[in-house]
Chain A
Amino acid sequence: MSLLNHRLARPGAYTVLLVIAWFVPYSVGSYEMHILDTALVYAVLAVGQGLVMGIAGQINLAQVAFLGVGAYTTAILTTHNHLGFWAAAVLAVLASALIGLIVGLPALRVQSHYLGIVTLGLSLAFLNWVTNASIAGSGSGIPGIPVPPLGSVDLSSDYLYYYLELVVFTLGLAFGLFVVRTRLGRRLRAMRDDSLAAGSLGASIPVLRMTSFLLAGVYGGVAGVLYAGLIRFVAPETFSTSNMFLLLAMVVIGGRQSLWGCVVGALVLSIVQNELTDLSTYSQLGYGSVVVLMVVFLPTGLAGVPSQLLRLRRHSTGGTSLTLGQFQPYDAAATTSAGEGVLLDLDGVTMRFKGLTALDQVSLTVHEGEIRGIVGPNGSGKTTLFNVISGLYHASGGTVRFGGTRIVGMRPNRLAHLGMARTFQNLRLFRNLTVREHLLTALDRTPTRWAWRYVLWPFGVQHGEKFLRAEAEQLLDRFGLAPFADAIPYSLPYGIQRRVELARAMSAHPRLLLLDEPAAGLNGAEKAQLAEIVGSIRDSGTTVVIIEHDMSLVMSLCGRVTVLAAGQVIADGLPTEVAANPQVIEAYLGRAAQNTPTVEDEPAALGSEEHA
C-alpha cells in the first residue's frame, strides 16, 4: 500500500461501509433487522466502554448501568411525566452523563481492580434502586414508552428505526474516533500507559479520568435512549452483571484499544449470541473461552490482527534500518543568560517516608543557563530529589522555588505548564504510542479542561492539530527520529528510546530540564551525542539539571556539581573541586563496589521486556 493510496483509502473505505450499512435493510427479514437494531445499541455502548477502558485505561464495570440510566430516565420522563420523547432523551443523556461523573469519582482515588469492584458495586446499587423504586416500576419495569416521533417517518418499524440508529451510531463513532486521534485521545492513551509520565507532560490526570467517565456516561445514555425507543419497555434484568460481562467480552474480543474493534466485537457477539439462542449454554461456554484465548494469544483483539500480520510480513522482509539520524542543534538563544538569575532554589528540603529520611535539609541553588550535575552513590536520594522538584512527591519540609514561585505541593502537570520537564531513570515511555504521538502529546500545552472544545468547537480542535503536527515534524527532524516516527518506542533499540524520551521532554521547550541518568545504557558514541545535545539545549536557553553516574560525562558537561550522600548535600562546587573533596571520595569508595554493575544492569532488564 503506497502512501498516496493510503491517503484516499480511509475515506473511501468509510464511504463503502456506510453505503453497505445503508442498503442492508433492503435485503434482510424483520427478525434480522431487529437483531441488527439491538446490536447497534450495544455497538454505541461498546464505543463508550472502549473509550473509558481501552483508551483511558479505567476499569469501568458500570457501563451497562449507564445504559440503564439512559433507558430508565427516558421511560420515566415519557410515561410518568408525559414529556415528549426527544425532550426526555436529552434529559436522559444529561442524567447518565451526571451518573458517569459520579461513578467516576472513585477513579480519582483508586485504579485497576479497586476501580473495577467499586464501579461494579455502584452499578448493583443502581439495579437495586430501579428494582425498588415505584417510579421505576418496582421491579416489573416500565412498559408503554412512546414511539419516538420524527415527522412522517414511522419509527415503530424496525426498518426505519435502523436508520435513526445508524445516523446516531455513525456520529457517535466519528466523534469517538475524532477524540482518539486528536489531543484529548492522545492524552487519555498516554495516561493509560503511564499516568505519572503523562502528568509530568502537563496533562491533568484527574480531569482526564473524569472526562473518560463523562464520555462513557454520555455514550451509555445515548445507547439507553436508543434502547428505550427500540424496545419501548425497560426492566432491571437488562442491566445485570452478566450483561456487563457480555459487554466486556465484546470489547475484549473486538479489541479494546480500538473503537472499530469494540464496534466489531459488539456486532459480532450480539449476532452470534442470537444465532445460538437454542444453544445458549454452549454459546456462553464459547464466548467465555474466546475471551480467555484472546487475552492470552491476541490481547489487542480482532482489531489487532491486521497490524500483527503486517508486523509478521515486515519481519520476513527484513525490516527498516535502525540508525538514529543526526541531531540538528538548536539556534543559540539571543541573550545568553548564564548566571543571571536564580531559576531553581531549594531551601532545607526534607523528605521522609515512614521513618526513613530520604532527603535531609537539602539546599541547592541553580542559576539560569547552568548545567548542574547531581551525583552521589546509589540510594543517596538523587531521584527522590527530582521527584520532589517535579511535584511527584510532596516535601515533608523546606521550600522549593522555581523562577521565584513557591512550588511545594504543586502537581506535576502545573509545574509542566510553568516550564519544567523531566526524564525518568527507567524510561517512562508510553507503551502503545508511536514516537510521533509521544511528541504530539508532549507538544500539547493546552490545559486539559479545554476538552470542552470538542463539543462546542471541534473545528478549532482540528485546526490546532495542524500546528501540532507541523511542530512534531520539526522536532522529529531535530532529534533525528524521523525514520522511526511511526514506530512504537519499545520496539526500538535502547539508545533510540533514550533519545525519544529526551525529545519528548524538550517538546515544550521548557525553562528547566531535569535529566535522570540520561546516559545509562548508552554506548560511547551515543554518550558523545548526548553531551552535544545537552550542550545545545543549554545554549538554546534551557537550564539543565542532570543526575549521572558517568563521571567523565559530568566533568565535561556540568558547570557545577552537587554531591548527595545519605540524603544530604556533602559537596557543591566546580567539578574539579568536588572530585578532589575527600568526603566525596570516601562516600564513593565506601559503596563503589555495588554501584557500577546495577547501573549497567538496568537496561538489560528492560530490554528483556520488549519481547513480550
Chain B
Amino acid sequence: MQVFLQTLVGGLSLGAVYALVALGFALVYRTMGLVNFAHADVLMIGAYVASTFTMSEHLPFAVAVVAAMVITGLIGLVIERMLRPLEGKDFDLMLIGTIGFGIVLEALATLIWGATGRAVPSPVDTPPLHLLGASIPTYDLVVVGVAIVAMIALTLFLERTRRGIAMQAVAMDYDAASAAGINVGRSNAIAFSIGAGLAALAGALVGPLLYVSPSMGGSIGIDGFAAAILGGFGSIPGAVIGGVVIGLLSSFSAGHFHGYSDLVTFLVFAVLVMIRPTGLFGERTVSRA
C-alpha cells in the first residue's frame, strides 16, 4: 500500500511535468495546426537560460523564469518566421522542419553551455509533506500548481479572448481565416511564441527536478508529446490528463517491470492510440481530409 501510494505520488508529479510539456504542444497545434518537434529542445534552452539567471546572476527564481520565457518566446518567433512559407500547406514537411530546428538548438546549446550539463538547486527547499505514509516533496506541489494554473489560463485565453478565438480559427481553416481579415502571420507568430514561452516555463520548473544538459529534451519531449496525443491533440484539459496518464503509466510500469518499463509504457501507448486515435478528449481541429 505504501509502495502504491508513493508510486502514485511520484507518477502524479511526473505527470505534472509531462502535462506542462504537453500544454505547449497542444497550444501550438490548436492555434497553428503545427506539430512542433523542436518543443522539447526549446524547453531545454529555457531550462538553461533560467538556471543561468538564478545561478550566475542570482536573480529570484520567478524573475529568471519570466526572463527565460521572453528569450524562448523570441526563439519561437524566429522558428515561426522561418517555417511560415509552409504554413497551411505541407503539414509533414513542417514537422520535419521542426525536427531540424531541434537538432540545431541542441547543437547551439552544446556550443554555448558545453556538453557537460549542470545540476540546478531547487528554489523551494522545505521538507516534504507526509500523507498516509507517502511523502510529497514541496517543490513537486509547486510544479503541479503551476501546471493547473497554466491549464486554466490557457483555457480562458482560448475560449474567452478575441485573440484566442481568432487563433483557433486559423488552425481550422487557414484560407478562410485570412479571408475573414485575421492577420494569420501575426496570429501564428504569437501562438508560437506563447508555446515557446510555455516550454521555457516547463524547462525552468523541470531543471531543479532533473539535470540540465543539451540532450535533456529527448525523452521528456517524446513522453510529453505522447501525453498530448493521449489527451486528444490540441485539447488543453486533455494535455493535462494525458500528462498524468503517461506519468502514472511510467511510474507504475517502472515499479512492476523494472528495466523493461519503457517497453511496456510504449506498447501500452501504441495500443491506446490504436483503440482511440483521437485521444480522451478528441482532436481539436478540423480533419485534414
Q: Closest B residue to A244 by CB, please name it.
A: B99
Q: Which residue of A lies closest to B274 (CB)?
A: A109
A292 at the interface (CB under 8 A from B): yes
Enumerate chain B residues within 8 angstroms of A121, measured Cβ to Cβ: 222, 226, 266, 269-270
Chain B residues contacting A132 (CB-CB under 8 Å) are 259-260, 263
CB distance from A29 to the nearest CB of B (A): 30
Asked if A295 and B262 make an inter-chain contact with CB atoms under 8 angstroms apart, the answer reads no
A129 touches B260 (CB 8 A): yes
Per the 8 Å Cβ criterion, residues 252-282 of B in contact with A are: 259-263, 265-267, 269-270, 273-274, 277
Which residues of B lie under 8 Å from residue A125 when comparing CB positions? 262-263, 265-267
Interface residues of B in 91-136 (CB under 8 A from A): 91-97, 99-104, 106-108, 110-111, 115
Chain A residues near B269 (CB-CB < 8 A): 118, 121
B274 with A113: CB separation less than 8 A: no
CA distance A113 to B221 in the complex (A): 14
In this complex, what residue of A is CB-closest to B90?
A299
Q: Are B89 and A295 in contact (CB under 8 A)?
A: no
Name the segment of B63-71, B78-86, B142-150 touching the other chain. Answer: B78-86
* B274 engages A296 (CB within 8 Å): no
Contact present for A196 and B103 (CB under 8 Å): no
| Bound CA span A285–B41, Å | 13
Q: Which of A109, A284, A295, A605 contacts B273 (CB 8 A)?
A: A109
Task: Verify B96–A291 contact, CB threshold 8 A.
Answer: yes
CA distance A289 to B83 in the complex (A): 12
Residue-wise interface mask of A (256-294) relative to B, using a CB-CB cutoff of 8 A (1 in contact, 0 not): 000000000000000000000000011011011111101
B99 touches A248 (CB 8 A): yes
Q: Which A residue sits closest to B41, measured CB to CB?
A: A288
Return A556 CB to nearest CB of chain B, in Å.
Answer: 34
- Known A-B contacts A114-B229, A114-B273, A292-B104; A245 and B82 likewise in contact (beta carbons under 8 Å): no
Residues of chain B with a CB closer than 8 A to A289's CB: 100, 104
A240 to B, closest residue via Cβ: B218
A282 to B233, CA, bound (A): 34
Interface membership of A231, Cβ < 8 A: no
| Cα distance A219–B103 in the bound complex, in angstroms | 26
Do B97 and A292 have beta carbons less than 8 Å apart?
yes
Interface of A is mostly: helix
Whether, in the assembled complex, A116 has its beta carbon less than 8 Å from a beta carbon of chain B, the answer is yes
Residues of B within 8 Å of A291, CB to CB, are 96-97, 99-100, 103
Chain A interface residue count, CB cutoff 8 Å, equals 48
Bound Cα distance A248, B103 (Å)? 12
Check: A110 CB closer than 8 A to any chain B CB.
Answer: yes
How far apart are the CA atoms of A129 and B259 in the complex, in Å? 9
Is the CB–CB distance between A281 and B259 below 8 Å?
Answer: no
- A284 x B106 contact (CB < 8 A): yes
A196 to B289, Cβ gap below 8 A? yes
Give the complex CA separation of A163 and B260 in angstroms. 40
**Considering only CB atoms and an 8 Å cut-off, how many residues of chain B contact the other chain?**
48
A124 touches B85 (CB 8 A): no
A59–B95 Cα gap in the complex (Å)? Answer: 10
Q: Does B170 count as interface, using CB distance less than 8 angstroms?
A: no
Contact of A292 among B100, B175, B218 (CB under 8 A): B100
- Closest B residue to A120 by beta carbon equals B222
Check: A241 CB closer than 8 A to any chain B CB. yes
| Residues A282 and B107 in contact, CB atoms below 8 Å apart | yes
Q: How far is the CB of B86 from chain A (nearest CB, A)?
A: 6
Known: A110-B274, A114-B277, A117-B229. A245 touches B259 (CB 8 A): no
Are B263 and A128 touching (Cβ within 8 A)? yes
Q: Which residue of A lies closest to B275 (CB)?
A: A109
* Number of A-B contacts defined by CB within 8 Å: 136
- A59 near B92 with CB under 8 A, answer yes
| CB-defined contacts of A59 to chain B, threshold 8 Å | 92, 95
Out of A57, A122, A287, A296, which one reaches B92, CB within 8 Å?
Answer: A57
| Cross-interface CB contact of B277 among A110, A120, A295, cutoff 8 Å | A110
In the complex, B35 has a CB within 8 A of chain A:
yes
Say if the beta carbon of A179 comes within 8 Å of chain B: no
CB B191 to nearest CB in A, in angstroms, measures: 17
Chain A 122-138 per-residue mask, 1 if CB under 8 angstroms from chain B, else 0 = 10110111011000000
A112 at the interface (CB under 8 A from B): yes
CA distance A150 to B103 in the complex (A): 41
Question: Closest Cβ of chain B: how far from A98's Cβ, in Å?
Answer: 16
Does A105 count as interface, using CB distance less than 8 angstroms?
yes
For residue A505, CB closer than 8 A to chain B, the reply is no
B103 and A249 within 8 A (CB): yes
Q: Of B95, B106, B115, which contacts A113 at CB under 8 A?
A: B95
Find chain A residues with CB under 8 A from B226 CB.
117, 121
Q: Is the CB of B85 within 8 A of A296?
A: yes
In the assembly, what is the distance between CA of A125 and CA of B222, in Å? 12
Chain B neighbourhood of A609, CB < 8 A: 89
Give chain B nearest CB distance to A494 CB in angstroms.
Answer: 17
Indicate which residue in A106, A124, A288, A294 contacts B102 across the interface (CB closer than 8 Å): A288
By a CB distance below 8 angstroms, the chain A residues around B260 are: 128-129, 132
Which of B89, B103, B274, B277 makes the CB contact (< 8 A) with A288? B103
A128-B260, A284-B107, A296-B82 are contacts. A118–B270 as well, Cβ < 8 Å? yes
A299 to B99, CA, bound (A): 15
Q: Which B1-53 residues have C-beta < 8 A from chain A?
A: 35
Q: Of B86, B108, B229, B233, which contacts A296 at CB under 8 A?
A: B86
Residues in A with CB closer than 8 Å to B97 are 291-292, 295-296
B192 within 8 A of A: no
Tell yes or no: A252 within 8 A of B by CB.
yes
Q: Does A612 contact B (CB under 8 A)?
A: yes
B107 touching A288 by the CB < 8 A rule? yes
How far apart are B38's CB and chain A's nearest CB, in angstroms?
10
- Residue B139, interface by CB 8 Å: no
Give the distance to chain B from A474, nearest Cβ to Cβ, in Å: 33
Determine how close the nearest CB of chain A comes to the CB of B229; give it in whole angstroms: 6
Which chain A residues in 97-113 approach chain B with CB under 8 Å?
105-106, 108-110, 112-113
What does the 1/0 interface line of A580-600 toward B look like (CB < 8 Å)?
Answer: 000000000000000000000
Q: Evaluate contact between A112 and B91: CB separation under 8 angstroms.
A: yes
**Min CB gap B49→A, angstroms:** 19
Q: Roughly how many angstroms separate A124 CA and B222 CA in the complex, as a whole number?
A: 10
Are B89's CB and A612's CB within 8 A? yes
Bound CA span A339–B87, Å: 52
> Roughly how many angstroms separate A413 CA and B95 CA in the complex, as a whole number?
30
Bound-complex Cα distance A608 to B178 (A): 13
- B90 cross-chain contacts in A, Cβ below 8 A: 299
Q: A57-B92, A248-B99 are in contact. Are A124 and B266 (CB under 8 A)?
A: yes
Instruction: Other than A59-B92, A105-B274, A299-B93, give 19 A-B pairs with Cβ distance below 8 A.
Output: A110-B274, A112-B35, A114-B277, A117-B225, A128-B261, A129-B260, A129-B263, A132-B260, A248-B99, A252-B96, A284-B107, A285-B103, A287-B103, A288-B104, A291-B99, A291-B103, A292-B104, A295-B100, A296-B82
Query: What are 14 sample pairs from A and B whose C-beta atoms fall under 8 A apart?
Result: A59-B95, A112-B91, A121-B270, A124-B266, A125-B263, A125-B266, A127-B262, A282-B107, A282-B111, A288-B101, A289-B100, A296-B86, A608-B175, A612-B89
Which residues of chain B have a CB within 8 Å of any CB of chain A? Answer: 35, 82-83, 85-86, 89-97, 99-104, 106-108, 110-111, 115, 175, 218, 222, 225-226, 229, 233, 259-263, 265-267, 269-270, 273-274, 277, 288-289
Chain A to chain B: the 10 pairs with minimum beta-carbon distance, closest first: A288-B103, A291-B100, A288-B104, A128-B262, A121-B266, A285-B107, A292-B100, A295-B97, A284-B107, A113-B35
